[in-house]
């Protein structure tokens, strides 16, 4: 069985996911076959594998860093919050049930054997496994029945490294407090700590490093500088949106609406790679500006997010923007919101059986009990117009995750022709665009990752502004991410005791 190392944190958002990806990349660079693993992930960002299984996107980018095709075994349990108290429980890539927190906590012991079996099979296939915890192991109210922090370290017999975030302040107290709240047996598993997101001269930090090592009795393995890499992370949704500051220097303005139940916000990371784009996320309480493109993202609770847009006044602002002829684009739940009607006869989302949509697309959506989870390939239809003119025949690929089925009426046209679902060749219509060509929507997550599609759209907008077309320096989003993984690995390798990390991995 392969060796393992587990990264746990003093809190959520301290950088466990990125450092897990960094170690996956470092081990890969050094010739090891390595896989990421997180037994339980709570996130609204998910991905569909080639087998049609749903898993957390953090383990997807970690798999990419390891040079692997994403495998649902890397994240056997995914929790997708539907309300403040309930979550959809996805096991081995398939929807199992909706549970509240108490019910799920009581259910977790039933998952332990399954998780261990999956981990053991994965570990037998690779030289090394880098495990990621969730939140903090010092959440003592959750110690009983734990399957993701020290409970997982026990199941996998993994040494543990604790990550602390100095950028948020109190890193020494959080490291010391975490160690204090661990049991004696748990403390024995901890082989070192890493201080993450440091800004400044590390010489100033050295006296504190010596003192914290004396207090917690384990070494500080490295101090990782704060970096602004364009890699997906598992920070909270609000932090993710708030931290994306507008450049105020792009020729094309793109705004993405924050939704209370927003999902798959990584659909828009690609815009950060386009040098002429000024990207802004419209947070709660903020107003829509004057964007060239307004995007309504996916949602885990489409009807409630539609009501949020209506009650907040954003629906009126969307309609005002539409009257100006600007492009409004919806992805998945955002696509459904732009339609005329949404029906939920089985109560799949909430207790509201029927509601009017914003009405900018002539579509009607009905929510059904069975979730569609599939990778797809499509080409843009020949009848597109407006700001999507010249994109006819452009190939796009991505994945679908939705429970609603939409029917396009006479006042809109289908946006794409689906040519492949998983490994099956098909001929189906998908998405919609209005007759004027300034409102469109699609179920395809990752549609903007297709640079030819996105660049064509941006250049069409440039033409309306009297600007010359430009070619992106990033011609492949996949290749761009590969370079970012290498940058991440180099930063971590340069600021950590890598020999000690290998000693921990080997159990020395």
In angstroms, rounded to a whole number, what is the distance separating the alpha carbons of residues 367 and 370?
9
In angstroms, rounded to a whole number, what is the distance separating the alpha carbons of residues 481 and 476?
9
Find residue 366's DSSP bridge partners: 343, 405
Find residue 489's DSSP bridge partners: none
Strand order in the sheet with 34-37: 34-37, 128-132, 3-9, 160-165, 190-198, 220-225
Question: Is 24 tagged catalytic?
Answer: no
Q: Nearest CA to 354 among 367, 341, 364?
A: 341
8 Å CB contact between 338 and 296: yes
DSSP letters for 169-221 = S-HHHHHHHHHHHS-HHHHHHEEEEEEEEE-S-HHHHHHHHHHHHHHHSS-EE
3-state secondary structure of 142: helix
DSSP letter, residue 115: H
With tokens 């009581």, the residue in question is 106
- Active-site residue (options: 261, 322, 402, 445): 445
8 Å CB contact between 392 and 425: no
- Active-site residue (options: 261, 322, 332, 402): 332
In angstroms, rounded to a whole number, what is the distance separating the alpha carbons of residues 155 and 66?
23
Question: Is 322 tagged catalytic?
Answer: no
Q: Write the Ramachandran bin of 195: left for phi over 0, alpha for psi from -120 to 50, otherwise beta.
A: beta
* Beta pairing, strands 252-257 & 277-282: parallel
Structure tokens at 347: 């109560």
Catalytically active residues, by annotation: 332, 445
């Amino acid at each position: 069985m392969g060796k393992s190392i587990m990264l746990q944190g003093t809190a959520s958002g301290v950088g466990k996911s990125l450092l897990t990806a960094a170690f996956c990349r470092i081990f890969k660079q050094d010739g090891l076959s390595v896989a990421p693993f997180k037994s339980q992930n709570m996130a609204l960002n998910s991905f569909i594998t080639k087998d049609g299984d749903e898993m957390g996107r953090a383990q997807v980018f970690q798999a990419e860093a390891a040079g692997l095709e994403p495998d649902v075994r890397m994240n056997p349990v995914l929790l997708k919050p539907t309300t403040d108290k309930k979550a959809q429980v996805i096991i081995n890539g398939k929807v199992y049930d909706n549970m509240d927190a108490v019910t799920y906590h009581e259910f977790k012991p039933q998952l332990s054997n399954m998780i261990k079996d999956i981990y053991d099979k994965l570990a037998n296939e690779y030289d090394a496994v880098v495990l990621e915890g969730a939140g903090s192991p010092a959440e003592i109210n959750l110690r009983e029945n734990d399957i993701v922090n020290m409970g997982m370290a026990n199941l996998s017999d993994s040494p543990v490294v604790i990550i602390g975030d100095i950028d948020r302040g109190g890193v020494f107290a959080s490291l010391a407090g975490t160690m204090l709240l661990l049991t004696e047996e748990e403390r024995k598993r901890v082989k070192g700590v890493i201080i993450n997101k440091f800004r400044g001269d590390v010489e100033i930090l050295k006296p504190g490093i010596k003192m914290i090592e004396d207090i917690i009795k384990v070494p500080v393995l490295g101090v990782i500088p704060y970096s602004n890499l364009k890699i997906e992370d598992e920070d909270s949704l609000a932090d993710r949106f708030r931290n994306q500051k507008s450049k105020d220097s792009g020729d094309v303005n793109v705004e993405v609406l924050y939704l209370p139940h927003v999902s798959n916000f990584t659909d828009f990371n690609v815009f950060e790679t386009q040098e002429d784009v000024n990207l802004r996320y419209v947070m709660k309480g903020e107003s829509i500006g004057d964007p060239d493109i307004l995007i309504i993202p996916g949602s885990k609770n489409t009807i409630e997010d539609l009501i949020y847009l209506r009650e907040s006044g954003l629906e009126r602002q969307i309609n005002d923007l539409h009257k100006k002829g600007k492009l409004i684009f919806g992805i998945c739940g955002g696509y459904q919101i732009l339609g005329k009607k949404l029906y939920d006869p089985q109560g799949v989302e909430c207790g509201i059986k029927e509601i009017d949509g914003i009405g900018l697309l002539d579509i009607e959506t009905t929510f059904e009990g069975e979730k569609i989870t599939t990778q797809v390939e499509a080409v843009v239809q020949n009848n597109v117009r407006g700001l999507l003119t010249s994109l006819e025949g452009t190939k796009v690929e991505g994945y679908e995750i939705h429970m609603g089925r939409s029917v396009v009426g006479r006042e809109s046209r289908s946006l794409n022709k689906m040519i492949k679902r998983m490994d099956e060749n098909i001929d189906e219509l998908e998405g919609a665009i209005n007759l004027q060509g300034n409102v469109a929507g699609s179920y395809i997550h990752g549609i903007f990752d297709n640079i030819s599609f996105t660049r064509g759209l941006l250049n069409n907008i440039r033409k309306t502004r009297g600007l010359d077309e430009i070619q992106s320096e990033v011609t492949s989003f996949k290749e761009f991410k590969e370079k970012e993984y290498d940058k991440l690995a180099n930063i971590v390798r340069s600021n950590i005791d890598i020999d000690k990390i290998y000693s921990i991995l080997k159990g020395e």
